[in-house]
């Protein structure tokens, strides 16, 4: 993986959806608390996006959840219009509901 250099997709997936959603939330939280244009904030966003990509491409993900992940994935296309704080809350809720 590009932004989790020592991890493979399967290493991530073995942690289960709930934990992966929390990992995404964690990166979003970090991104939200840093100045938006900082390198660190962008790096956190990219890691969150990468994790979401792994989750989205999991063949075991039920259709309804996959559709939800795809919708979230679209909101990750533009870093500068991303509301990381809001998404953090949504991902935490999702992780609790999985």
Partner 1 sequence: MPEGYLISLIWLSTSFGLLYNQYIMEWPSILKSPLNKTETKTLAKEFFGDMIKVVVDIETGAVAAGCSLHADAEQLLLKHGAQQQSVWGANIFPERKAGQRIEFTSLINIRPKQGNKTQYISSPDIKEKVGSILGNYFDI
Tell which positions 53-82 bind partner 1, by CB under 8 A: none
C-alpha gyration radius of the chain: 13
In the bound state with partner 1, the residue whose beta carbon lies nearer, of 33 and 86, is 33
Contact call for residue 19 and partner 1 (CB under 8 A)? yes
Cβ atoms 50, 78 nearer than 8 A: no
- Does the footprint of partner 1 cover residue 3 (CB under 8 A)? yes
Interacting residues with partner 1 between 29 and 58 (CB under 8 A) = 29-30, 39-40, 43, 47
Q: Give the span between the Cα atoms of 56 and 43, in whole angstroms.
A: 20
Instruction: Tell whether the torsion through CA atoms of 26, 74, 97 and 59 is positive or negative.
Output: negative
Where on the chain is the footprint of partner 1 (CB under 8 A)? 3-7, 11, 15, 19, 22-23, 26, 29-30, 39-40, 43, 47
């Amino acid at each position: 993986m590009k932004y989790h250099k020592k991890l493979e997709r399967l290493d991530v997936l073995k942690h289960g959806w709930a934990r992966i959603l929390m990992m995404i939330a964690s990166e979003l939280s970090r991104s939200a608390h840093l100045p938006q244009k900082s390198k660190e904030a962008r790096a956190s966003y990219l890691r969150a996006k990468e994790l979401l990509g792994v989750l989205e491409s999991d063949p075991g993900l039920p259709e309804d959840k996959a559709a939800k992940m795809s919708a979230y994935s679209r909101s990750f296309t533009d870093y500068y219009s991303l509301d990381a704080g809001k998404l953090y809350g949504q991902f935490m809720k999702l992780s609790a509901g999985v």
